[in-house]
Amino acid sequence: MSDNGTPGSQRLELADLVCLTGGRTRRYATRPIPDERDIAIVALLRKAGRTGGLGQLLELIRPDVEAETLRTFAVRMASCALRRTDPELLRLGVCAMALAALRGTARRDDAAAFAPLWHAAGQVGLDPAAEFATTASAVPAAAPLLAGWSARPASQRELRMMGFHLSTDVDGPRYTEDWTLLAADFDREFTGPSLLDQLHLPRRWRNARAAGRAARCLGHPPRNGLDVRPPNTDPTGTDSTSTDSTSTERAGTDHTDGATDGDGPT
């Protein structure tokens, strides 16, 4: 039977995924909740769950298209469930997020979007761990991922730590992404001291090299017995090749002058 009660195919088809394609994900994320796309995705997930087609849906979605849409839908359903105190919408959101994470691009935000769903479950009076376990039964491939999220320390499931915050728009509460904290973490990681500075051997080499430069400037031998002067350079910093050449030329001149003095008239 089809969704309207008439005979029809219960197997998912590519036409069923039209609601997951087209349009920009960022624009969809900011649209009022719910909208026509939300309703279509709810119908798709209900059909997939009723016909055992969640595994088939997982095979059909692409990481950079349908998976991104499902991730955005999941966050929107967390907001909608919180507004309506609707457990089914929350469960559809967790299911969508599990599928999206399995087919996502392995970025941090693939799993971070579980945070609004976990928070919303607690806000509507549900046990978040139990809801995630129920979804794991429906999507076995996502069971390790969901169990791993549930086992995280509470501090690593907080909205702010995962880049989200709960705001309020004209229609009610809404989970929105907030990269302030994550941007600060990024800045600390990539603008702080170089990783090479944390390695023992490179730091030792840099210290010895710096000591060698200072010693040459002061006219002292370098410390630690390490001579870091360039090749063919004497302790005074003069190129030894140039010095040898000058000495040779001077010796040749002296020899010539001596021969002239010996052969000349007395």
207 falls within a domain:
yes
* Cα(105)–Cα(109) distance, integer angstroms: 9
* Cα(34)–Cα(243) distance, integer angstroms: 84
- Give φ, ψ of 173 to 5 degrees: -65, 150
Give me the domain span that covers residue 203: 195-260
68 falls within a domain:
yes
Same domain, 163 and 210: no
Full-prediction pTM beyond 0.85?
Answer: no
Same domain, 199 and 229: yes
pLDDT tens, per residue, the chain with 266 residues: 344 444 345 678 888 899 999 778 888 999 999 999 999 999 999 999 988 889 889 988 888 889 999 999 999 999 999 999 999 999 999 999 999 999 877 555 568 999 999 999 999 999 999 999 999 999 999 999 999 999 999 999 999 989 999 999 999 999 998 766 555 555 555 565 544 444 444 454 455 555 655 555 555 554 444 444 444 545 454 444 444 444 444 444 444 444 444 444 43
Same domain, 166 and 220: no
Indicate the residue among 187, 216, 250 that finishes a domain. Answer: 187
- Give φ, ψ of 52 to 5 degrees: 70, 30
Same domain, 78 and 183: yes
- Please tell me the total count of domains within the chain: 2
Same domain, 45 and 164: yes
Indicate the residue among 140, 164, 187 that finishes a domain. Answer: 187
Same domain, 217 and 115: no
130 falls within a domain:
yes
Longest Cα–Cα distance in the chain: 135
Same domain, 106 and 49: yes
